[in-house]
Structure formats: C-alpha cells, structure tokens
Structure 1
C-alpha cells in the first residue's frame, strides 16, 4: 500500500486510504446486484436492495482489514494504515516487532471476522431480519471471502499463516517467506488455469477473465512481498544518518541561474542541490531550500542571467526532509514518495547531510548479495 493513496479518515486511530479503483469496482458491483435483484419478483425495490448489499459488503471488506490492524496494534506492532484497492484491501504493518506467533494471530484475524459476519447474516436470514436475498448473498460472500483468504499462498492470509507456522518450526523467517511466496505463485497460476478452463467449459468470458486477473495479481504480489521483506531486513538496522553523504555540493541563494546551470548541472550526475548561506563553511548551516532541474525549467533560457537561485528554488518549508535517526525503511519510503533523487537530512533546521536514492539502493544490493 503506498502512502500516496488519499486518506479519507481513520477508524480507531488507523488511517483509511481509498485508491481510485475501489469506488469503480464498488459501482460495478452495485450495477451487477441491481440487475440480479431486478429478476427477483419478491424484491420490491431492486435498487435499494442492491445499495444495501453493496454498502454492507464493502463494510465487510473494510472490517476484514480493520481486524488485521487492530489485532496487530494489540500485539504491539506499528500499523501505518489500511488501503482499499480494486481487488481488496491491504493493511500496512511494520514488521519491527513481529514474531511467528504475532504474525499467525494477525493473519487469522481477518478471515475470523468474515466467518463471524457470515454467521450474523445467516442468523438474520434465519429470523427474517431484513431482505432474504440480500442477507443470503452477504452470508455467502463473507464465507467465500474467509475461505479464499485462507488459501495457503502469500499474500493471502492463509499464506501469511503458512509463513508463520514454518517460521515458528524452523526459526528462519526468510526461508518461511520464500516458501509462502512460492505457494502464492502456485495459487495464482492455478487460478489463471481455473479461469481458462472455466471459459472453455462455460463460455463465460467475463467471469473467467476476472478469475484470471485475480490469479495474475496474486502471483505478482507473492514475489513482491518476499522482495519487500528482503528490503526491510536490509534496512531495519540502519538510519538515514548512517546512509547519508556528509560531504556534498551546495549552492548559495545569490547564484544566478546561468551560473547554476554551467557550474553545477553541466557534466554532473546531481539534479538537485541544497541551498545554504555559505556552502564552503565547515559547520552545519540552515537549509534555505532545494534547487533542482525542475525549478530551473520554470524559467526561460533568456532569463537565466537575471534570476537568482533564491527566486527559483523550492523553499525549505516545502521540501521533504529526513531526520538522521529515521530508520532506513522509512527513509526509503519518503524518498520514493517524493520522487526526488536525493533529500536533505536535517537536525532541526540545520543541514547535516543528503541522502541519495542510489546510495540506498546500492546499500541494499550489497546487503542482500550472496
């Protein structure tokens, strides 16, 4: 889940983010249910029934992720938030306090919640508390969600549980993650094969394509999760301060843009430079801003001789920055979200270094190299 996905609010202190694809899928689900309920003469208002079913099913998906998040927090794990996507939700949990036992508890929390919701809706159906067709669909959907998520393939909950069990028995988290990722790919390609067979047997290309898309998504996310774990393991014991460059080039606010282009950018790998009062001073200085190629391009070539860096730079108040004690994983996340090649590292307002994305990537490659 990228933290760049818009946040719409929080539940129990857990930020909830919604990707643009989730409302589209929800709208498509509403349209499908409206058509189904229109064929049922026992339903007086198909649109109202479809709306109720869509809202409650969406709530079931959200509660599934919230169960993961709340159990993780109860066990002392740091939760970044929940993101709702087209093919379901993702709960972002930091792994720094993780263990096999905690991971197993968090993995089972979501499916257990769906099983409980399925029971609630089936009891409501039994005692006729609400539209029967809607309650039946909600009960079946929640049970199906629970069973699907219990498939033993990462990143599904069953795959996470499999990883936790192997981790507990072997004491090797990376090996357990590798096996869970492999089973995730197997499950994904099995779904692709199932979708293909479904299309050949029934001729229902739409549902077959949907099954295949889910399988491809599962297969790709399985290896992504394993690579993410490798990255976290490589960076969890380092900080932005230990990865940053303490020696770097900086520019003064009085520098003209033509001087900046000729003396700093021409023939250099850097595409951005900190702006400080005295670049040659040995003591840390207050960061005034960042001057990048993007800032330079906002001015015509003919104006470069008359415009100073102070006018063109991005002010320090608008610059993403890092703290020296920020953990390596979080520092890389901020770098990626900023879209910049480098970010300043600040102690208060004082510039103490710069962190390059390429330096972080190089460190990771050296760390995980065999």
Structure 2
C-alpha cells in the first residue's frame, strides 16, 4: 500500500485503471460502523457469542461495506469511461464514495446509464449477499460468515435505495436530471431543478433528524442532520460549478492573467524579501527566479511560519515551494481546470507560464470578480 498524503486523500490501489483514494474522514466512519456492529447490531441479531467474536464480525462487515461502495463507484466509472467521460478516480469519504468526473456527461442517455449503474450494482450485491446468507443458514455455516452476509445484504439495499432518492447529485438526482435534460434539451435548467430537489431533500433529512433527536435517537438523529446539511451544501455547489463552467466555457486563463509579475531572486534572504517586497508591494505570492529561470514560488504563508530571528540567515531558495502542478499552470489551461486545482490544493494564487517561462499570476479573487460581474449582468 502506497501511503500518499496529498490533499486529495490516501492512495490505496488502482482498479481497472482508476485510482482508489480514501479521505481521512472515512477512518472515522469505519470506526463508528465497526463499533456499532460489534456492540449493537450483531449481538442483538445473533446472540450467544463472545464480544471478541462480534468485533471480528464488525471489522469484516466494515471491510465488506468498503468493498461494496468501491464496486458501486466502479460501475459509475466504467460506464462513464464507455461514454468518453474522463474519471479522475474514486474517493471514499465519511458520507460514502464519489467517482470524480472531470467533465459533464455528453448526453442525457450517458448520464442516465452512468447514474443508474451504481444503484443497480448495489441491488445486485444485496440479492447476492442475501442468497449467501440463506445458503449459510441452510448449510449451517459459521455465524461469522452468514451473519456478515446478512448485514451486507441489508446495507447494500439501503445504499441502493438512498442513492435513488431524487436529490442531485445523488444517483437518483442525476437520473432525474437526465430525464429533464432529455425533455428540455437544457442542461443548465435541468441541473437547477434537480439541485433544488437535492436542497429540499436535505431540508427533509434535517427535519427528520430533529424529530429523531426529540425521540431520543441521538446518534441516528445527528447522523441524519449531518447528511442533510451535506446534501444541501453539495446540491448548491454542483449547480454553481456548472454555472461557472458555462461562464468560462472554452476560456483559457490567458485573458484573466496579471502579466509580468514582480519576481524575486532565489538567493535573497527572507529579511530582504519582507523589507523590499512584502512591505513595498504587499503581494502574497512571488515567483522565484534563479539565473533568469523560474524555479519556484514564495508565499506570505511560508514566511509567516518561520521565526523572525531566522529571516536574516535564511535564503528564499531554502524554503520556497518548487515548481509543480500544485502551484504552476500553463497559460492555455482552462479556467475550470485552474479553479479545480485551487480547490483541491486549497490555494488562491497560481503562477502562470508560457512555454516554460514566467508569464503572470492568476488569483482566485480575480476569477471570482469575473464570476460576480457576469452573474449580475446576465441576470
């Protein structure tokens, strides 16, 4: 297992060419599920065994759920690949999994089939695990096997039904959007309506969660409320992302770049950087050059984390961020791709190059200003 601690999650393995990554929040979910199964579900459903036995069942059940969700997302990804949709990978997090599409589906049919593939797989797994459970009971398999099969059948049915709810961007919401898209031939309108469905579904889950809290179901109620807030948030975000893609469709960042930025020499000390650049120009990011060649960048955040006493002895080249896909983009890069890089790496500024040479700087604020102006003027 390759432990990669990049901000896009923990790299686990590749499956059919798709990277499988794990967000750190999944670890919390796995612990919670394992504890719930070992301390509650299995002892109640299958009494008479030792606590250690139940913990083994709990761990096995959690691993089975992990594989079930991976297979669910893999089905989305394989259908997406069939229709030429670039898939950046599969990521599991606290609320489930996601097959990360780099572009929108090319047609309503492609979206309908891609969205439906996941729930269909989960339903199939539910039937398969239930069949194995019945066979295990009939053939007197160890409860460690048949009991876990029973749990996995139920959880896969739940995953399928939940994902078929008509709230975008759940699978059911995407199926709903594909139908609206096919009927209206207007992806933007279909996305807005489907996203509103996701928002209302989120409100409904929050309301049901509050009722559960009142009735004393603390964990279930809190979980329902959290999922409701998450669904609300991601529904709005999904529509905003499509709106932004429409605004910048076909645009590279070239027309939005601030050209000929002030650069700094790699051999300067941090003291010189602060006095001659930060206090003079008040920019938060500077390209770093050495012998006329771009070698990296130095930001306000990097300098502020270093003790002031060390500034006179520390050269920029010792602490700068070297050029990489995380801080440098080509001038012909699509705006949507630049925004994705900024979001994935939680940064607000990128250095822009042309044929490997320093060209300018692009900032999130500049792009947000463009979005605001176009949103207001378009109405």
TM-score (norm. length: structure 1)? 0.87
Q: Is the counterpart of residue 103 in structure 1 residue 111 in structure 2?
A: yes
1:172 and 2:177 matched: no
CA distance, structure 2, for counterparts of residue 57 and residue 303 of structure 1: 50
* Partner in structure 2 of residue 282 of structure 1: none
Q: Say if 1:271 and 1:341, in contact at 8 Å, map to a contact too.
A: no
Name the SS for the 1:83 alignment partner: strand
CA change 1:254–1:55 in 2 (3 A) is closer
Which one of 113, 133, 155 corresponds to residue 141 of structure 1? 155
**Which of the residues 209, 228, 231 maps onto 1:215?**
228
SS in 1 for 2:12: strand
Any gaps of 5 or more consecutive residues in structure 1?
279-284
- Shift in CA distance, 133/173, structure 1 to aligned 2, threshold 3 Å: same
SS state at 1:249 partner: coil
Aligned-residue Cα RMSD (Å) equals: 2.8
- How far apart, in 1, do the equivalents of 2:306 and 2:227 lie? 47
Question: What is the alpha-carbon distance in structure 1 between the residues aligned to residue 188 and residue 343 of structure 2?
Answer: 24
Q: Distance in 1 between matches of 2:173 and 2:272?
A: 57
1:272 to 281, 285, 294: 285
Q: What is the distance in 2 between the residues matched to 1:296 and 1:27?
A: 38
Q: Secondary structure at the match of 2:13?
A: strand
CA distance, structure 1, for counterparts of residue 326 and residue 36 of structure 2: 46
Displacement of 1:183 in angstroms is: 0.9
Decide which moves more: 14-23 or 262-271.
262-271
CA 1:289–1:220 in 2, change beyond 3 Å: closer, same or farther?
A: closer
Q: 1:139, CA displacement in angstroms? A: 1.5
Q: 1:116 aligns with which of 86, 100, 124?
A: 124
Structure 2 residue 158 is matched with structure 1 residue 150: no
Q: What is the aligned counterpart of 2:10 among 6, 19, 23? A: 6
Q: Count matched residues.
A: 362
Partners of 2:72 and 2:121 within 8 A in 1:
yes
Q: Establish whether residue 293 from structure 1 lines up as the match of residue 297 from structure 2.
A: no
Query: Which residue of the partner structure matches residue 3 of structure 2?
Result: none
Deviation at 1:176, TM superposition (A): 0.9
Give 3-state SS (helix, strand or coil) of 2:20's partner.
Answer: strand
**Residue 42 of structure 2 corresponds to residue 37 of structure 1:** yes
Task: Show the counterpart of 1:194.
Answer: 208
CA deviation profile, 1:85-111 (whole Å, cap 9, x unmatched):
111112210225532221111111110
Deviations along 1:331-366, one digit per CA (max 9) or x if unpaired, are: 122234444443222245322222222222222223
Contact 1:114/1:145, CA 8 A, preserved across alignment: yes
Decide whether the 8 Å contact of 2:167 with 2:198 is kept in 1. Answer: yes
Deviation at 1:49, TM superposition (A): 2.8
Gaps of 5+ in 2: 1-5
Partner of 1:360: 367
The answer to which of 293-302 and 333-342 deviates more is 293-302
Return the TM-score normalized by structure 2.
0.85
Q: Distance in 2 between matches of 1:3 and 1:303?
A: 29
8 Å Cα contact 1:239/1:326 also seen in 2: yes
CA–CA separation in structure 2 for the residues paired with 1:175 and 1:358: 27
> Quick one: distance in 2 between partners of 1:226 and 1:312?
39
The residue that corresponds to 1:328 in the other structure is: 335
